[in-house]
Structure formats: structure tokens, C-alpha cells
Chains A and B, each alone.
Chain A
Amino acid sequence: MKRSFAALSVLFAALLTGLDGASRENSSPTFARDIAPIIYRNCSGCHHAGEAGPFPLLTYEDAKKHARQIAAVTERRYMPPWLPQAGHGDFEDERRLTDQQIRLIAGWVKVGAPEGDPAECPAPPNFSGAWKLGKPDLILRAGHAFAMPASGPDVFWNFTFRPDTKSTRYVRAIEIWPVGEGKEACEQCPDPLSAARIVHHANMLVDRTNSVRRLEEAPGSGFAGMELTLDRNPFDPASYFLFWKPGTTPYSEPDGFAWRLDPGNTLVLNTHLQPSGKREWIQPSVALYFTEKPPTHFPLLFQLEHDGALNIPAGARDFVVSDDFRLPMDVDVLAIYPHAHYPGKLLEGYATLPDGTRRWLITIPDWDLNWQAVYRYRTPVFLPTGTVVSMRFHYDNSGRNPRNPNRPPKRVCAGNQATDEMGHLWLQVLPRGRGDRRRELEEAVTRHNIEKYPNDFAAHLNLGALMLSRLETQAGIAELETAVRLDASRPEAHDMLGSAFESVGRTGDAIVQFREVLRVRPDYVNARYNLANALAKSGKFDEAIGDFRQVLEEFPDSARLHDQFGQMLARGGRYEAALAEFDKALALEPSNETARNDRQWVLKNRLAGQETPH
């Protein structure tokens, strides 16, 4: 009875799956029919020459030579690498095998990994070695190759690129080749195919504040470091994940979502390199794809984190770091990027909607730094105003965690080194509504940071700047005064506070602040410019002129500055000198109407006999 029931259910299953399914049930799996489609779709992208996979998986012979290994690593879902838990976020380019596919591979290996009928085998994917998105608009090449040692810990190396663009460009996509352009070997890279395998992932950052010059020995030399902190401009915060991992087609931003590349920006490529057993040379190239369409949508990157609470005792097996942020506006979450170092274990991100329901953004049950990635939602996740976005990151700092970098375990705090820890849940969100609403969201994020870190210099500085931009000058001054009290050595805070004082007529206080900047940083041109103007305003023309001349030495070709200097000289009654400056401005820029008008005004006043003897 039991037997016939089993037979009946097999028959029923066959009927359900159709004839094709029925024939599969009755025959052993073969590479050609069953395994090749799985491998070509999920493995070959990385497993081919020039990519990160350590051996090719493009033919039957390739797969046969690793058959048991493939069964083992797919069975425990180490391959294909995909960290998020199913059902907690619906992501693009998901690389997760189904249970049935995993069983099929195991079954194929069990019966001796047969090839089957080659006629049934689909054609393997074709990897041409060319740039995946076609001919790039601009190719940037790292100035120096980095020599990666044969052994030792993983290395995090930053390459810098300074695109020589004369005007603002809008970038829709980037592609990265770890070892040169296309498949061509870089001159210093003796084994580019091998070197390509050591680049695990890379993150590109746009440095709009030239922060990296403090980190590089010389421009282009590159620098070590796992994490990279760039000064954040609250009016132009980072909007995009420029993340690269091997074996994927580069992400191309949709229309209206391009990011801005301004002249003078530096691109920093933060690479995670793993030793291969021999010395390797890495010299990446970055391809940029431009669009003529300027951005019309302005997403924002912000992070949930509480590094201040990251203080994990040695041996702690489940230490939790949390952060919760209430959204001040309706947003769509476009992408998410969880980041921790080695003791990180279970990483959770979720949203609690105003009605109390919980919506999972992501869960990574077994964090592995080596496979970190940016995850883009297939459909943006709408979160209404008042939603609380939360992170709960769990850490295992015990000896039981084999990835623990400290043996024996020791107390771990937040920091940039691989032996320190981090807990960041980055979100890319697009505020709903028209125009660029990043500033409003940025203000809420900054206020949240001040709640977490009341003594955070950067948060008070940025909040002060945001308040000033909203013309809430008194509130802005209060924040900036807090900032300079917290860190008196930072010139930008004094400079901004000076400008704020200036705007409310406290010129004397402004001059004190600008002088403080120049005491700390005599080459801070912006402050010298501000100081010159403030001095002129308070009638101290001699001093003002001296300072403005120093500004002009930095920018001798600026028609605008020559014109302004002329105005200052004229206000001080020095008409001849003023005329000379207007002439310089017009020589540099004959179409400069302001300089022309200023010049005529001075000529008229001088003729009126108001010349002050000089």
C-alpha cells in the first residue's frame, strides 16, 4: 500500500512538472543538461581568466576538475558568495542557488560527474575582455603600481586618480580593471591574470575637499588604510555607492541620477587585496562613462552607526551595537551597504513603520568581510515620514570566532585598522518630493549624530553651516561656537564663524576668527580673503590691501579677484591703483561687465576731483 502510494506520488509529480521534468526524474544529472546552465549563470562570471575566480568554470573539463569542491561549497552556500538572508530584502543580481540546484549538483557528483550529451550543453558565456559597458569616455590609470606581498594579512590600499577635466562632467557609470586597461597587462604587472584574482572588492570615493592630500606622500602615490574619512560637505554630501566587486556588470545609473565630477576632484579607490602566495603588482584603471544629462534626482548616503559604543570586551560572544534614526521625510531606499570588520557576525537592518510594523531591510546571518557588497533593491523600499530605521550588529570577539584577528582575543574598539572594529549600515535614500532635499535630511542626520556624540566637532560644524544656510544666523553662530570650543585647531570652523559674525555686523569678532585661522594655517586663502574684506569694511585699508595682495598671488589669473581688489582700492580712495586692477581684470576677461562698470565709475569720481593723494 505504502509503495503504491509512493509510486502514485512520483507519477503525480511527473504530471505536474511535465514530460521534461519526468525524464529528469528518471535519469541521473549530467553536466550538459543540468549543471552547465547553473554554472554558466552563477559561477562563470567570476570563474574565467582575468577575473577573480581562482580557476575557470567554462567547460565540462573545468567543472569535472572541481566537481567535489563545487558540491561542497555550494552545499554550505559559500559559493556563489551571497551574504543576505533570503526574504530580508529583495535585491538585484541576487546570486543564490535554490535548494533544488544545490541538490542537483550534489546528485551529479554522486553519480561520478558525467558529461552527458554535449549536444544538450548550452554555449558557455563569452567574455571578450573588453570594457563591459563599451568604450569609456575617460580612462584613468593609477600613477603607481602597488606591490602586494606574497603573504601576511590582507591589505587595504588606496589608489588616487585626479581626472584632468576642464569642466563639470556627469558620470553615469564606472568600471574598474584591477590590473590595467582591458586585458592588457600593465608594464609593471608581470602576471596580470594572477594579480586580478587578489582584488576582492573596491570602493570609490569622490574627494571634493582634497582631504586625501593629507594622507598621500605625493599626489598619486596612494596610501594604506582600510577605512577612509573624507571631510563631508553638508551641502554636497555623497550620494552614490561607487562599489565594485568582481564578476558583475557595472551598474549604470538611470537617467537623472548621474553624479557630478568637478574639476579638481580626486577619486580614491579603496581596494581590499588578499595575498596570493607570490608577490603581485596591482595598477588599476578606472573607466568613466559620462552623460550630458545633469542630475534631476538627488539621493543621499547616510549611515546608521554607533562606533562610540563599540567597546567589545575580550571573549564577548554576542556584543550588540545599535542605532535608530527617525526619518523626517518620505524616502525611497535604493540600496544598502552593511560594513563591519572581522568580529562582526550577525548584521541586521530594519525599518519600523509609523504603524508599528517591521520591515526587514537586510539580514546577514554570518558576516564575512571578504564578500561585502552594496545591495540594490529590485524595487525601491518606500519608508514614510516617522519611520525608524534601525541597525543591530552583533559581534563575536571570542576565540571561537576563527576570523578574530586577535589571538588571544583582546578588547576591540572602533577604529580604522583591520584589528579594530566598525559597525556601519549605509543607506542610499531618495527623498520624495521635488528637487534636491538632501540638506533637510542631512540636518536630521547631523542632529542625530549630536544626540549620540554631544562633543562631536564635525557634527556641530556641519549643523552650524546648515543653520547659516537657512539664515538662522544666531543658531548657526551658537553651533559654530560650540565647534571651535570642541576643537580650536580646525581652521574651517573659525573661518565659518568669522563669516557668520561678519554677516551680522560683528566685524571685530569676525577679524579675530579669521586671524585665528591664519595663525593655525597661514596658507588658508579663503580666510585671508575674508580677513581682507573685513578689514576693509572696518576702514583698515592698509592691512586689507596687504592681505588681498597675498590672495591675488595665489590666483593671479582671476578677473573677479582683480575687480574686487580694484573695488577695495577705490573705496579706500586709491583710484589709480584701482584702475590698474580693473585693467588687469579686463585684460584677463574682456567681457567682464562689472570690471568695466567699476572702471567707469572710478574714472568719473577721479575726474570729480576726489583723488586721495597716495
Chain B
Amino acid sequence: MLKQACLARPGGPSVLTLCLAICAAALSFPIRGAQIAGGADGDGVLDLKGKPVDLFASPAAVQVLLFVRTDCPITNRYAPELQRLHSEFASRKVNFWLVYADPAETAAGIEAHVAGYRFPGVPVRDPHHMLVKRAHATTAPEAAVFDAAGTLRYHGRIDDRYVDIGKARAQADIHDLENAILAVLAGKAVAEPETRAIGCSLADVE
């Protein structure tokens, strides 16, 4: 909403830049956060202590959402690749979030999962699939890339290693998530903004 208003506002480049800066810093995110949270406390996105959390309130050039399940082997096998991506972008204002969409999953279970596989990023719970819907995610593991303005720029597979459940290449040829982050950081369009992720269904844990 606010972003559209900003863009619609007439003025020179300096005004636009200023406006975007304000958007990023303060104005837009509480509103968007409220939209994501869906209203009452506890209905929306939560941290592991059960407190509402707004992913988009933290300033970053890129927000990477990784939809995961604790009981999905393909999710787990991607832990080393996600560690690699995390360290690659650690110094470049890229936030990694681990989104657990299974409402039955406990905080202790999530903590053990993150620690066991050394998943990078901040774990959050999305029991009402607010983030799932916003990212159009269907699968664990699936990645979604949002730019600083909160616009969804990519969602889908992390890379092309899996062709199907149980059918994998020896190594990935196309690193879709990495390419998407690089494109957003470079201010370019993501070449393949949507791909099909292979893994476990998120709708099964709605």
C-alpha cells in the first residue's frame, strides 16, 4: 500500500529515495507486519518463545525465507547447502529465516532440528501459513526471496539437484536461490522468478 503511494507520489529521484528509506526504516513494516500477523496476538508468525515476530521489520536488502519441516529428509539434506549460502551472503545484508509451518511442531522440536543439522538463519513458526501464502510456498524445502521493499522476487527450489522425490542429480547444475539473491542484490530482475520445489507438502501440515 505505502510502497504504491510512494511510487505514485510525484517528485524527483531524491524524494523517492528518501521515501523508500523511510519505508524501509519505519513506516511500512508495522503495517505490513500487522497484515501478515493477521490480527490477534498469537495468530501470526511467532518466534520460538511464542512472541509475534515481524520478519520484514528487520532492515535487510534481501529476506530469504526457507520453508522447512523437521520430518522431511530432503529439507535436512539441504542443510549443508544452506550453510554455504548463508556464509556466502553473511556480510551482504541478507537475512535468512527458517519458517516452520507445522502448527503441531513444538519449540523444543524446532530447536533440536536447527541445532542437529546446523541450519542457518532465525527459526520462526508460521502455524497459520501466513508466510506460506505470502510466499506462494507449497513444499519443504522451498525458498522465497523478498527484496527490501517486501516484494516477492523468487520462490521455489533451492537448486535443481532434486528432479523428483527419490531422484536426484549427483550435484546441482542450477543454483536458483543463489542466483535470485544475487539478482536482487544487484538490482536486477530474477531470471526464473518461480520454480517447482521438490520435497514434502506444506499443505499436509495446514
Contact = CB atoms under 8 A, between A and B. Distances in A.
Interface string A391-414: 000000000001111110000000
Interface string B134-171: 00000000000000000000000000000111111111
Contacts of A276: 73, 76-77
Nearest to B171: A407
Interface in A149-200: 150-151, 153, 191, 194, 197
A278 B118 contact: yes
Interface stretch (A14-22, A59-67, A237-245): A59-67
A68 B73 contact: no
A368 B200 CA distance: 21
Contacts, number: 81
A403 B116 CA distance: 28
A72 interface: yes
B7 interface: no
Contacts of B169: 402-404, 407
Contacts of A78: 164-166
A342 B169 CA distance: 10
A403 B166 CA distance: 10
A66 B76 CA distance: 16
Contact of B76 (A67, A72, A73, A278): A278
A153 B170 contact: yes
A84 B109 CA distance: 39
Contacts of A278: 76, 79, 116-118
Given A197-B73, A402-B169, A277 B80 contact: yes
A67 B202 CA distance: 10
Contacts of A73: 165-166
Interface in A49-63: 54-55, 61
A196 to B, nearest CB: 13
A69 interface: yes
A68 B204 contact: yes
A405 B169 CA distance: 7
Contact of A65 (B102, B165, B168): B102
A370 interface: yes
A572 interface: no
Contacts of A66: 71, 200-201, 204
Q: Is the interface of B mostly helix, strand, loop or mixed?
A: mixed
B111 interface: no
A197 B79 CA distance: 16
B41 interface: no
B191 interface: no
A136 interface: no
A425 B77 CA distance: 32
A55 B71 contact: yes
B166 A368 contact: yes
B72 interface: yes
Interface string B115-129: 011100000000000
A69 B104 CA distance: 18
**Chain A interface category by residue count:** 20 to 34
Interface string A445-466: 0000000000000000000000
B166 A405 contact: no
A48 to B, nearest CB: 13
Interface string A562-578: 00000000000000000
Contacts of B200: 66, 69
B166 A277 contact: no
B205 A65 contact: yes
Contacts of A191: 116
A295 interface: no
A68 B75 CA distance: 17
B183 interface: no
Contacts of A225: none
A368 B117 CA distance: 27
A278 B123 CA distance: 18
Nearest to B84: A151
A98 to B, nearest CB: 21
B117 A68 contact: no
Contacts of B117: 150, 277-278
Interface in B59-113: 71-73, 75-81, 102, 104
A81 to B, nearest CB: 8
Contact of B170 (A55, A64, A68, A404): A404
Contacts of B71: 54-55, 65-66
Interface centre among A64, A66, A76, A404 (most CB of B within 10 A): A66
Contacts of B72: 54-55
A592 B72 CA distance: 67
A402 B204 contact: no
B79 A150 contact: yes
B201 A54 contact: no
A501 to B, nearest CB: 52
A132 B169 CA distance: 35
A65 B204 CA distance: 5
Nearest to A76: B164
Nearest to A399: B173
B120 to A, nearest CB: 12
B201 to A, nearest CB: 4
B79 A405 contact: no
A440 B170 CA distance: 43
A247 interface: no
Interface centre among A72, A73, A151 (most CB of B within 10 A): A151
Contact of A68 (B163, B164, B173, B203): B203
A370 B166 contact: yes
Nearest to B77: A277
Contacts of B173: 407
A107 interface: no
Contacts of B168: 402-403
Contacts of A151: 77, 79-81
A67 B80 contact: no
Nearest to B160: A402
A204 B168 CA distance: 27
Contact of B201 (A68, A342, A404, A406): A68
A265 B117 CA distance: 40
B167 A403 contact: yes
Contacts of A197: 73
Contacts of B78: 277
B205 A402 contact: no
A311 B21 CA distance: 62
A150 B119 CA distance: 12
A76 B164 CA distance: 11
B77 A407 contact: no
A342 B170 CA distance: 10
A278 B71 CA distance: 14
Nearest to B70: A55
7 contacts: A55-B71, A66-B71, A67-B201, A78-B166, A277-B75, A277-B79, A277-B117
Given A342-B170, A402-B169, 7 more contacts: A54-B73, A64-B204, A65-B205, A69-B204, A153-B170, A277-B117, A368-B166
The list of the 4 closest CB pairs from A to B, nearest first, reads A277-B76, A151-B80, A54-B73, A277-B79
